[in-house]
Structure 1
Amino acid sequence: MKIEPKLSAQKKHRKKMTKKQKWIFSISSVLLLVLAITHFVLSSIYEPTKQISAMNDAYNNQDKDAFFQEFEVKEGTVADAQNFYAIVKEYGWTNLRNQLTYEVERIMNNENPDIIYNGGEFISVHSKPILFGLYDRVEFIIIPTEVFIYAPFKNMTLQFGDKEIVSKSDEENVGFGHYIPGEYAWSYSYEGGYIPLADEGKLMLEAQADNIAQIDVDWGFQTVSVDSDLEDAILYVNGKSTEKKVSELRELYPAKLNSKIEVYAQSQDKDGKTVKSDVLPLDSDTIYLPFEHIRTEQKLAEHGDIIRDIYKNFRSDYSSAIRYTNFDYIGDYFREGSKIKKDYAKFVTDHDNIPGYNYEFLLNEIISFNTLSDKQFELQSYETFNYSSDKEGSINYERKKKYIFSFENGKYFIDEIVDLDTKKTKL
């Protein structure tokens, strides 16, 4: 006879799980699994040594953007991957990597990390709580430098990097904000003076001991002395009137020599016509602005003085030529091969055939001088002399003459001598 074993009371009374209980159990299991995976993933993400490893890979692959993204910058800081990569390369990545690793170890050992310096504060390393403090994320923060540029004048347009600021007062120390170390372009322009000023360049911004950089621009301003043969002429710079006379602007400051900047003066001549001086580049600290019509007048005046002297010398040499019947005394006053030269040569030598002649030259007076062109001139004279010969006796001559002089290749010639009026008186 087979005897059946009796079930225990516990087993006998065990109930099967309901569908709801099974569903709750499944959800809980999944959540626990997700939490475990999330914990593993987050622990891996926030593992600082892996951050440094990612930095190392990006740096060695010259992936500047990826390398830069491993670091943090404070809000409002001007920064870019190119600049940061260049600074780290100059600093030495191996050296920086070792320092970052050391500071991370200090954090993991619950010690306070130190700031990494590069002339000034460069990078700080600290732990930041994540997800209500369940995790800690190590942050590598690039410490910026505050930039200032001194502006000597109001309304100067200054640019540093991509930021442009106009100064609000003279001698203002203009603050541009915070920048990470690196190479930046700078420029300035100023239209507030008589001479437009502008310059540009690049500089390497390095961290300072107090993380404040005072940019000292080499302005290179200088004084330019200006003069002209018309001091009442108005000075123009690049075609724009300064509304000031040359006499009022003996010195221009601030100025910088720039051959692209043109300077000239403008006035009116005696007929009321607008005249303009030579246009000169601003490439010297001393500028003289000559007017062509003034130079022409000066040259003509010089011609007049020279021709007056030539006339007096001619009359003196003419007296010698007649006295000694030698044309060589006056031959150089005429053009070679000209008719007037041949006529006077004959007139002088013909005196050899006049018995007992004599000249007493009394007066050689210049009545007027006129400019016919820049190379031809007219002089009128009043001349008196006593003439005598065995045949004609003694005669007093009073003559008005016209002399035509020309200027060519630096030399003066007599082209014509015309008797305008002659009065003879028998003595």
Structure 2
Amino acid sequence: MGYCTECGQELKNNPAFCEGCGAKKEVEIKHSVKRAPLSKKTKVFITIAGVLLISLISTHMILSSIYDPMKTIQSMDQAMSSNSEGEFIEYLTLDESALLNKKQYFSFIQSSGWEDIREQLASIITNDIKSAAYVKNRYGHDLFKVKRDSIAGIYDTYEIEAIPNQIMMKTNMAPATFKVGKKKVTIKDSGELIEGSKAYPGVYTIKGEASGHYGEFALEEEIEVASSEDHQSEYDLDFNGSTYSIYTNVPEAVLFVDGKSTNTKLEEFEYLGPFPEGKDISMFAELSTPEGQKFRSEEITQEDDVWGELPFMIAVESMEPLKDEGDEASASLDEANQFILDFRDSYEQALNSRDFSLIEPYMSEGSIADEELKEYIGELQDKDYSYEFTENQIIHTEEVGDDSFEVTTNERFVFTNHLGEKTTYDREKIYTLMKEDSHYKIEKIDINETERDSI
């Protein structure tokens, strides 16, 4: 149907002439348009685009296959079936600081119910869990932490992190040092719980050393680390040694060990020990009376026990009082001090009278001090000098050997020369004394410092 191009009347049934005006209907002639052929450049471009598209699709399919997390689980399953612990552990992320025995850890995973573990891993991946998820063993303890990641935001990957246990240690002696793997740990208080190394399930060796009142101790022990709910494994590392109770008639007496006072009364000990194995420790008890007397029990070792008790008995009425070595030493020092002060008085007279014989009894014959002072006083014979000692003070005294003492003094005096000029001297000296047949003798005199001022 159409319309007449002359009068506009509607043409029905496609007539050859218009029924209204008789005009002939125009026939539309269609002309086909011939298309130009594609250029060579266009054809090359289309070919390259096609190849790239096919390559991208192929690469995507290959990468999807490579990064398919289910393949990791399949590989782990194959390693488990072939008992290849090295290959299995390669698929795990490990804590590098943790101890690991690969063979024992692999056996632990096997015994933890691998089939169930495998199903948990597959479920985590299949369900596309966004946050970290945990894989547990048959006892409900965490074995692995599974974390999701992606490559280029397209290919999902999953990291399987193996969870170690923290070794916690305590001991019956302190201070003590333990070595677990390469890590050393010091425990300062007995009973204190301290962190050691981290470790994956398996058996490991711990070595320890400790010092106590009764000697040195050593320990070497194997521990078995297993999984736990709180990721911790606690161990009591006790040093071997014998302990004994005390049997005594003088509980107020003080215990001495290897000749040294413990400053502790027998009644204050709950028990004695532990004692190291293979070493005898000497002990005795000492009782001090209000009158200042001291009584001592028989010296014993831990091998002298009677049914697990160590006897410390003192028959006070039959024992001779012990000499107080401390009092004797103090008396000797006091005598040495007084000897030097007496010498200084005599030395002042000897200088002013030019008479060496006044100090000769104080000198050790032939000693350095003897020769030096004899020469010095001899040189004063024709000199009109005078000496006035104003202060002689003992600063320090100590016994430096058997019957040998050093006395440090501060000495002040006024020296007047032949012209009447006066000079004050302030000196520090060290006198070396020897005790010969209960008498002190001067061996050497060293001058440390001298300050002088003219008056």
Q: Given the two structures, how large is their TM-score scaled by the length of structure 2?
A: 0.45
| Larger fraction in helix | 1
Q: Given the two structures, how large is their TM-score scaled by the length of structure 1?
A: 0.48
